[in-house]
Amino acid sequence: MIRIAVLAAALVAAVAQAQVPGVSTTTVRIGQSTPLTGSNAELGNDIRNGALAYFRKVNDAGGVHGRHIELITLDDGNQVPRAEANTKKLVEDEPVFALFGYPSASSTSTSTTSARATPTSWRRSSITSSRSA
């Protein structure tokens, strides 16, 4: 719940910024790389399904400042190279406003490093940290 509140606060900060990746007038896109297959698939699916249930509740209540949350989930099969490639795709190609729900410590570490190396993710991180401090 705290992470969702931080995400909502980041969205509020982002609304004031023009052309924020992953945010439109109707949608906020959040990216996730998680094991939907392979080892840890049960954990990955549980995290995804829990997030989808919560986001559905938020969206049914009108979203965040009228914007619906859209979760884009890519399967990494609990493999670090796939998680890293998925993160790069989410940040560079999709694009998403935030990354969320990475259950594996090894993929989180590698993926976070990958995301920080991307200028657009750095910009989003700086927006988030400047408003949530």
Sequence ranges of the domains in the chain: 19-122
Residue 112 predicted with pLDDT over 80:
no
Buried b (16+ CB within 10 A) or exposed e, 50-60: ebeeebeebbe
User: 7-11, 12-16, 43-47, 48-52 — which is least confidently predicted?
Assistant: 12-16
Residue 100 predicted with pLDDT over 70:
yes
Alpha-carbon gap, residue 118 to 99, rounded angstroms:
13
Strands in 27-34's sheet, in edge-to-edge order, are 68-75, 27-34, 98-99
Stated pTM of the model: 0.69
Q: Which fold has domain 19-122?
A: Rossmann fold (3.40.50)
Per-residue pLDDT at 101:
85
**Section 100-124 average pLDDT:** 58
